[in-house]
Amino acid sequence: MRGQKSAMTIRPVDVGGVTVPNNIFCAPLAGYTDFAFRKLCYFYGAGLCFTEMVSAKGLKYNSEATRALLKKDASEKITAVQIFGSDPAVMRAACESEDLADFPIVDINMGCPVPKVFKNGEGSALLGNIPLAEKIVSECKKSGKAVTVKFRTGISQDKKITAEFAKMCEGAGADLIIVHGRTRDRYYAGEPDYEEIAAAKRAVGIPVIANGGIFSKADADKMIAETGADGVMLARAALYGPHVFAEIAGKNVPKDIGRDVLGQIADMLPYYGEKFTLVQMRKMTSFYIKGMRGAAEYRGRLFAADSLSRLYELVEEIFRSHGKDSGTVPESGAAQD
């Protein structure tokens, strides 16, 4: 696959009969990819966004905190919900539940590396139990939903199973796979393993989306050239600037971070209330200003803001001083993904 493509071609993707507008995806990010942030990513050109990671068990036991993660904006035409768990029956029940009725695509998390998830036999732990992983995919597909699987190249560097796992997913009924080009033990460090992603692409006939180390159009082009993947998924790069979707997609959408921040606040406030909105948007704004002159000082002042009115004042000050098109996406590899 290497060298066959010099640049990424932007095109629609068929996901189990669901047509996604383009092949630039926004990853599920716990604590970040809520409906307001997804709305912004779609505005800038993302083809498909994913909810935060949702516990299938949490839905089973009627957790209100879990259900809150499923809030959608009216403008979202197609959004994927990502679920995690290790019980095939519970996972299928989640797919078939009314809670997920508005989500035509269900993504199964088989890549989360965090200890709490891993120790429960969920997320990337399923890379070490292929028969169970296969049963989960098969049961979820019986729900009638389009099913995707996001997974890593293996649990450890000495045992990469990307192609084998990809074949299993396809055989069990998955409509698309997303390969994070790192093993569980690497978390988010280092360059993604292009050859392992390429191996997955060679192994299956369903679409393969590549994830890891993509922070710019140049990174996206390199990923496609090196792997032959059908598209890319961005994670941390989106947090540092959702405008990156427009850059990769070639969309002429002017960047205006101040407008974006105020729009997110306006979307979140009626649903989440002032306290949560304040905390969340202090955090989000601190991401957006990374690379800006004086960012460290502004970040300290943002986190000290004790009211939305104070946050509004700071946003006005920051973006009046630096102009609309301010803030930068970090250099390739400068953040986790």
Whether 333 shows a pLDDT value over 90: the answer reads no
pLDDT tens, 20-49? 999 999 999 999 999 999 999 999 999 999
CB proximity list for 129: less than 8 A, separation 6 or greater: 121
Percentage of residues in the chain with pLDDT exceeding 70?
93
**Which tokens hold the place of 224?**
């496609």
pLDDT tens, 170-205? 999 999 999 999 999 887 878 899 999 999 999 999
Q: For residue 322, what pLDDT band results from cuts at 50, 70 and 90?
A: low
Picking from 126-130, 135-139, 276-280, 326-330, which range would have the lowest pLDDT averaged per residue?
326-330
pTM: 0.92
Q: For residue 270, what pLDDT band results from cuts at 50, 70 and 90?
A: very high
Q: Residues with catalytic annotation?
A: 112
Q: What is the DSSP letter of 307?
A: S
Picking from 5-9, 157-161, 263-267, 276-280, which range would have the lowest pLDDT averaged per residue?
5-9
Packing angle of the helix pair 130-141, 88-96 (nearest 10 deg): 20
Q: What is the mean pLDDT of the chain?
A: 92
Closest CA to 2 of 306, 263, 228, 167: 228
Whether 326 shows a pLDDT value over 60: the answer reads no
pLDDT tens, 69-108? 999 999 999 999 999 999 999 999 999 999 999 999 999 9
